[in-house]
Structure 1
Amino acid sequence: MGKFAPLHQGHQLLIETALAEMDEVIVVIYDCPETTNVTLNIRSNWIRRIYPKVQVIEAWDGPTEVGDTPEIKKKHENYIINNLKIKGISHFYSSEFYGEHMSLALGAVNRLIDEQRKIIPISGTKIRENPFALRHYLHPLVYRDLISNIVFLGAPSTGKSSITSRLAEEYHTVWMPEYGREYWEKHQIDRRLSLEQLVEIGEGHLQREEALLSQANKYLFTDTNAITTYMFSLYYHNKAAPKLVELADRASSRYDLVFVCDLDIPYENTWDRSGEANRKIFQKQIISDLIVRKIPFFLLQGDLETRVRYVKDILNKYSKYKNLLNLFR
């Protein structure tokens, strides 16, 4: 039992030891909004995905008090035995003081694992202070869920690359360049790509983006996504391959925040672009698609410095796993 906020190698040592010694393993994980914004279902799914043989019980109404007092001990014992009605436990695994009183209450063997943190010298408190510096103690699935993936959309020549690279520098993290442009420059014929090649852009972008999430420091700033590639497919072919449609649909819920770069900066008419008139049309199509998909977005206007200040103001109010409406309160 515990908060697993977040799940780290010390917890994994505990779980893996229990799995090696027992035929069945139950993990009770508590709701703890006072400790972390990462919701209980996210934390419990870490364990389910990494250890599918473990039975996970979510203690949404469990006691939140922590301490070595008779009253607090009794609350936890009553909750496990009377509320969750857990019985037949032969061994109680922990690395905390509560292992002694919980094992006595359950009539189980008190199995303490690395109580002094000599094997895995880390704690959830330390990791919460600086997850980026201590990410080597975290499973990739866990670390990925701690990163806010922020995407910037907009027609060509609206400043997406400029602001994503600048914000990455400001926040000492990485950014995801527009893979479609790189691919287009290598593979275009007469300024066109096939339906299949547009799918390859969507898949390639996603692969690179996933890799960068493990390197990011709190935020990953992403330039465009599969929805943009889908819009290009409709623009040039009047249709999209089923796989690209699927990638665009997945992108609808993939990002924590969405910013749309507006048209109020000068158009750069480079050889690889199709003109300012098409930029205006494409911008309208992108915004319309976001509205249809019910994806909330922030519109970025002004010069680069104004846009950067606006995004930073949003990020100062934003907290992953909290209601986005809190930004406006």
Structure 2
Amino acid sequence: MNKNALVIGKFYPPHAGHRHLIETAEAEAEHVYVLVQGSRFESLTVETRAAWLKEEFDGANVTIVPVRNDCPVDYASDEIWTAQMENMRWALKVRGVEKIDAVYSSESYGARLAEAFGAIHVAVDPQRRNHHISGTACRDDLAENWQQIIPAARCGMAVRVIVVGAESTGTTTLSKALSEHYRPQFPALVDVPEYGRHYTYELLEALQRTNPDAAVEDLVWTDTDFAVIAARQTEMEQAAAESAPLVIADTDALATTLWERYYLGEGSYGSFGALDRLPHRDVYLLTDHTGVDFEDDGWREGEHRRPEMTEWFKEALTEEGHSWILVTGSRERRLATATAVIDAILAQQAAFTSPVWAGRTVLEQAA
């Protein structure tokens, strides 16, 4: 077994091939140092990529080291090679690592890198047969290669659109319309419905087993109920992010805190703990109550509180610093407003930037 193993890469983004490379080194070395080399010219920061890898290898004998590296790449230049080596050597040295025993790589420069460190070279799946994927392929087509990206990176990169609003203001209608609109582009897109309504059904069914005549107004809510709803809502959202690059969620944990306030008053905070684990948000779409007829389906409190609730949402979203858009007008107008901003965010998500000297990995056709 080697003592110190080294893996380097851009991990832009980290994918299954990278995981296989690191896991191979981990199985054969006492400790693995992974240098994540990121450039200012790239749209995902090196710190972000390193954080995803740290989550993936949490608890393993792996140290993830983010390294800012804006040095050009030119394998024919000894001077550039020296500059690159010094960047790597000092990234390790300041962490107390003076000796590397093995370099694990799938790249053609792996042997030269190992020689420079006075280490052995271990080539790992250089033909990409075990994992027919590359960072280039992921950047070229996120939707096609989404499942090849490690889970933490998927959750971090997914565009998240959260639809919120007061009762009977068209949140579910808009959420479903958006899912239908984008599913041809993202076939793996998963619906994220309002879990609170499902939970209410379950509570009522449980109550009716002992009291067959019980109705929804007989339910007694507690802060624990809202804690369960908020946690489950986030779990559903995270599962959707792992499935596709776009998440359309009909409410979220932040909205749950407002519904807890609505039902239990200002002094109840059962769901608030979920805000500490709230994933990043790209945009909230707040459905306006104006111009929308109130539909009483037997589960709603009443039309009179819709204006107040809408203001609560505006206040909470603003105080928390989120991007939010009030969607109003007809169904068609609301959908047009929503898709305009979502299309722009998706275009930004897919626009991976790279320095002019960056190479491209071209995969051979899979057998």
Q: TM-score, normalised by structure 2?
A: 0.79
Instruction: Indicate the RMSD between aligned Cα atoms, in angstroms.
Output: 2.4
How far 1:203 sits from its partner (Å)? 2.7
How far 1:81 sits from its partner (Å)? 2.9
CA distance in 1, matches of 2:73, 2:323: 38
CA distance in 1, matches of 2:128, 2:303: 61
2:284 aligned counterpart, secondary structure: strand
Which of 226, 230, 234 aligns to 1:206? It is: 234
Name the residue aligned to 1:158.
Answer: 169
Give runs of aligned pairs for residues 201-240 of structure 1, distance below 5 A: 201-216=229-244, 218-239=245-266
Query: What is the one-letter code of the residue matched to 1:138?
Result: I
Question: Does residue 274 of structure 2 align to residue 247 of structure 1?
Answer: yes
Q: Decide whether the 8 Å contact of 1:87 with 1:106 is kept in 2.
A: no
Query: What is the one-letter code of the residue matched to 2:343?
Result: N
Name the residue aligned to 1:177.
Answer: 193
CA distance in 2, matches of 1:121, 1:226: 37
Question: Does residue 119 of structure 2 align to residue 92 of structure 1?
Answer: no
Name the residue aligned to 1:115.
Answer: 126
Residue deviations 1:58-85 (CA, integer Å, cap 9, x gap): 112x135334322432331232235654
Residue deviations 1:32-69 (CA, integer Å, cap 9, x gap): 3545x332122112222222321122112x13533432
Name the residue aligned to 1:327.
Answer: none
Between 1 and 2, higher relative CO (CA 8 Å, sep ≥ 6) is seen in 2
- What percent identity do the matched residue pairs reach? 26
CA distance in 2, matches of 1:273, 1:207: 25
Q: Decide whether the 8 Å contact of 1:63 with 1:79 is kept in 2.
A: no
Q: Decide whether the 8 Å contact of 2:287 with 2:326 is kept in 1.
A: yes
CA distance in 1, matches of 2:276, 2:116: 50
How far 1:240 sits from its partner (Å)? 5.6
**Distance change (3 Å), C-alpha of 1:41 and 1:300:** same
Name the residue aligned to 2:145.
Answer: 134
Which of 57, 61, 76 aligns to 1:69? It is: 76
Which stretch of the first structure deviates more once superposed, 49-58 or 131-140? 131-140
**Distance change (3 Å), C-alpha of 1:317 and 1:136:** closer
Q: Decide whether the 8 Å contact of 1:29 with 1:57 is kept in 2.
A: yes
Residue deviations 1:191-228 (CA, integer Å, cap 9, x gap): 64411333332233223222222222x21001111222
Query: What is the one-letter code of the residue matched to 1:75?
Result: A
Query: What is the one-letter code of the residue matched to 1:179?
Result: Y
Question: Does residue 317 of structure 2 align to residue 290 of structure 1?
Answer: yes
Q: Which residues of structure 1 form unaligned runs of 5+?
A: 323-329
**Distance change (3 Å), C-alpha of 1:55 and 1:186:** closer
Give runs of aligned pairs for residues 53-64 of structure 1, distance below 5 A: 53-60=61-68, 62-64=69-71
Which of 43, 46, 51 aligns to 1:40? It is: 46
Aligned length: 318
Residue deviations 1:129-180 (CA, integer Å, cap 9, x gap): 2233323423322322221121111111111111111111221123311111
**Distance change (3 Å), C-alpha of 1:186 and 1:148:** same
Name the residue aligned to 2:9.
Answer: 2
How far 1:248 sits from its partner (Å)? 4.0
**Distance change (3 Å), C-alpha of 1:310 and 1:287:** same
**Distance change (3 Å), C-alpha of 1:81 and 1:212:** closer
